[in-house]
């Protein structure tokens, strides 16, 4: 079964509401963006709002407050340094003390141990979850599937999913534990951030760096998707994801009184709340290289073998969060987009393999080339470290049946992805006990039969280039 998802559903209209300012209009829901990955950028919603010549003057233009947001330590080398200056109507420190949020969000995890999760080398798969019937926003709709490490130790990752039907109202979320990579699968997201607004459609991704406050609105109603969280390093662009195709929001702000506005802060895996009387999206201007951004997956330029064999999936890495060990990622974000398959005398779907990395896969739309049945848009699978996996029986048999004369073939209408980590994930109890768990997943391989024969025919030798001895 395939679900139809419209990529980059766009309309041009100017977004004007009382008490809100916009900066430019293009063909993305009335929002304009700034292009470039890792660049030092600047934006102002009011001309002259950015101080010139220094970051923190005695009196900022328009009477604004200067506030720095740092994503790396002060002593990080310049090439790794990530920070931005925000010029806001009121500083973010103006709030009541944080209190533990009640009721607790029992299914959101950033500390993985035996108390909340367990390990298994078994191949796991989940069917798409239903969007809840009761009002549920992005925060309450988040739940952790698996992960490893600790936010307190600043090392690890978590994989979450979300299913929501209500926009966040008079509240904003802040993740003090790490970066969020958000992959919507159903329904667009309007994400308000301190740097401006992002419209993120299925087929696009958004990254909200650690510490940024943001709110998610659902213009299409019910929405679901995937979230990868890294608990230490910062994502870097990789592969053939062009830096200019990553875009950051332009400055946009809310002003005026907002009594009872709630900041929900994720801290050490737990949620806390603080009340203030203004919107956190009161940043009139900003500059720096630590900003939220989005990326359209259809702009990724895939490449593949042009003669024989199948390249490993690392060629399709869009973003990577590296570890101190060269070439080893805490988390890679890899996609499997539409592309041509042209390899000769080659089994073209992904080969059977075991991997020292652990792989969590999701499907945004269409089908996945290695799974003919059971892997549906909105679903997920997990193949942990050294757990064997590969094409199901139907895919294998159909591929071999087509033979070597199939010619070039284009895979269309598909967008699968993978979160890949060097850490072994622990799986949350509710994920293992979920009614959406596909307990029959293992059966997709049980039909694979032996094709082994001691007899090698002359035809086999010719086709496979084998030189037979006397």
Please check whether residue 138 is in contact with residue 164, taking contact to mean a CB–CB distance below 8 angstroms.
yes
CA distance 194 to 273: 18
Rg, Å, the chain Cα set: 24
- Backbone φ, ψ for residue 142 (5° rounding): -75, 140
| Secondary element (H or E) of residue 332 | strand 329-336
DSSP code per residue over 257-320:
--TTEEEEEEETTEEEEEEESS-S--EEEEEES---EEEEGGG------SSSS---GGGGEEEE
Please list the active-site residues: 310
The pairing of beta strand 33-35 with beta strand 246-249: antiparallel
Q: Is 451 known as a binding-site position?
A: no
Per-residue HEC secondary structure of 119-183 comes to: CCCCCEEECCCCCCCCCCCHHHHEEEEEEEEECCCCEEEEEEEEEECCCCCCEEEEECCCEEEEE
CA distance 145 to 123: 14
3-state class percentages of the chain: helix first, strand second, coil last, to nearest 5: 10, 35, 55
| Secondary element (H or E) of residue 208 | strand 204-208
Q: Is 353 known as a binding-site position?
A: yes
Angle ∠(264,19,292) on CA atoms, nearest 5: 45
Burial grade of 126 (CB within 10 A; 0-12, 13-18, 19 or more): buried
- Tokens representing 234 are 């910062």
CA distance 138 to 189: 10
The contacts of residue 102 (CB under 8 Å, 6+ apart) are none
Q: Is 368 known as a binding-site position?
A: yes
Q: Which residue has the tokens 């070039």?
A: 408
Q: Is 389 known as a binding-site position?
A: yes
Q: Which residue has the tokens 């830096």?
A: 243
Q: Of 211, 146, 152, which is closest to residue 420 (Cα–Cα)?
A: 146
DSSP code per residue over 27-75:
TBTTB-EEE-SS--EEEESSTT-S-SS-SS-SS-GGGPEEEEEESS-TT
Q: Which residues are annotated as a binding site?
A: 353, 359, 368, 389
Q: Which residues are annotated as a binding site for Fe cation?
A: 353, 359, 389
Q: Which residues are annotated as a binding site for homogentisate?
A: 368, 389
């Amino acid at each position: 079964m395939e679900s139809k998802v419209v990529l980059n559903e766009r309309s041009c209209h100017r977004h004007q509401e009382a008490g809100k300012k916009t900066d430019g209009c293009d063909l993305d829901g009335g929002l304009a963006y700034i292009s470039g990955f890792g660049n030092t950028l600047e934006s102002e919603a009011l001309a002259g709002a950015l101080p010139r010549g220094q970051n923190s003057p005695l009196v900022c233009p328009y009477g604004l407050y200067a506030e720095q947001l740092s994503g790396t330590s002060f002593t990080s080398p310049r090439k790794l340094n990530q920070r931005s200056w925000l010029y806001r109507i009121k500083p973010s420190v103006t709030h009541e003390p944080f209190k533990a949020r009640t009721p607790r969000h029992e299914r959101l995890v950033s500390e993985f141990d035996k108390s909340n999760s367990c390990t298994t080398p078994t191949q796991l798969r989940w069917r798409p979850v239903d969007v809840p019937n009761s009002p549920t926003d992005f925060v309450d709709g988040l739940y952790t599937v698996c992960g490893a490490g600790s936010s307190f130790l600043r090392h690890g990752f978590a994989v979450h999913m979300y299913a929501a039907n209500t926009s966040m109202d008079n509240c904003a979320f802040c993740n003090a534990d790490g970066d969020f990579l958000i992959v919507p699968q159903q329904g667009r997201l309007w994400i308000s951030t301190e740097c401006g607004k992002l419209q993120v459609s299925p087929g696009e991704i958004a990254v909200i760096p650690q510490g940024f406050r943001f709110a998610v609105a659902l213009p299409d109603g019910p929405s679901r998707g995937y979230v990868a969280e890294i608990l230490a390093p910062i994502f870097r662009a990789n592969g053939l994801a062009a830096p200019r195709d990553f875009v950051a929001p332009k400055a946009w702000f809310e002003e005026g009184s907002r009594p009872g506005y709630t900041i929900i802060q994720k801290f050490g895996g737990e949620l806390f709340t603080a009340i203030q009387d203004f919107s956190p999206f009161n940043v009139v201007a900003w500059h720096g290289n630590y900003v939220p951004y989005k990326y359209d997956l259809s702009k990724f330029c895939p490449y593949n073998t042009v003669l024989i064999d199948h390249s490993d999936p690392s060629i399709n890495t869009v973003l990577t969060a590296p570890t101190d060990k060269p070439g080893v990622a805490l988390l890679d974000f890899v996609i499997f987009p539409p592309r041509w398959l042209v390899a000769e005398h080659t089994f073209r779907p992904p080969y059977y393999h075991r991997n020292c990395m652990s792989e969590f896969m999701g499907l945004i739309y269409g089908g996945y080339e290695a799974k003919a049945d059971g892997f549906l848009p909105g679903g997920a699978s997990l193949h942990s470290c050294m757990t064997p996996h590969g094409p199901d029986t139907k895919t294998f048999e159909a591929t071999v049946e087509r033979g070597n004369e199939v010619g070039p073939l284009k895979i269309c209408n598909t967008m699968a992805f993978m979160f890949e980590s060097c850490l072994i994930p622990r799986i949350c109890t509710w994920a293992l006990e979920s009614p959406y768990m596909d307990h029959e997943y293992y059966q997709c391989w049980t039909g694979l039969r032996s094709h082994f024969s001691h007899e090698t025919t002359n035809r086999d030798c010719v086709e496979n280039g084998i030189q037979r001895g006397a």
